[in-house]
Amino acid sequence: MRLAVISDTHLEAPSDWFRRWFDSHLRDADALIHCGDITGPAMLEFLETSHPNFHAVAGNCCDWRVAQELPAMLRLNLAGRTVGVTHGWGERTTLPARLPEAFGPGFDLILFGHLHRQMELRFGDTLVVNPGCLCAETPRMAYVDLGEEGVAVRFVR
Domains and CATH numbers, the chain: 2-156 (3.60.21.10)
**Tell me, what's the pLDDT at 117?**
96
16 exposure class (CB count in 10 Å sphere: 0-12, 13-18, 19+) = exposed
**Tell me, what's the pLDDT at 24?**
98
Summarize pLDDT for 81-139 with one digit per residue, the tens: 999 999 999 898 999 999 999 999 999 999 999 999 999 999 999 999 999 999 988 99
> End-to-end alpha-carbon separation of the chain, Å?
21
Distance CA 116, CA 63 (A): 19
**Tell me, what's the pLDDT at 25?**
98
139: helix, coil or strand?
A: coil
Q: What is the mean pLDDT of residues 64-84?
A: 97
- In order of 30, 61, 110, the CA distances from 83 in angstroms are 14, 23, 6
Confidence band (pLDDT; 50, 70, 90) for 22?
A: very high
Give the closest residue to 33 by CA, choosing from 9, 3, 68.
3
Confidence band (pLDDT; 50, 70, 90) for 33?
A: very high
Element (H, E) at 97: helix 95-103
**Tell me, what's the pLDDT at 99?**
97
In this structure, are residues 45 and 65 in contact, taking their beta carbons and an 8 Å threshold? no
| β-pairing verdict for 109-111 and 81-86 | parallel
In this structure, are residues 32 and 83 in contact, taking their beta carbons and an 8 Å threshold? no
Residue type, 80: G
- State residue 78 phi and psi, 5-degree precision: -130, 125
How far from the centroid of its chain's Cα atoms is residue 30's Cα? 14
Distance CA 11, CA 62 (A): 9
Confidence band (pLDDT; 50, 70, 90) for 5?
A: very high
Summarize pLDDT for 118-130 with one digit per residue, the tens: 999 999 999 999 9
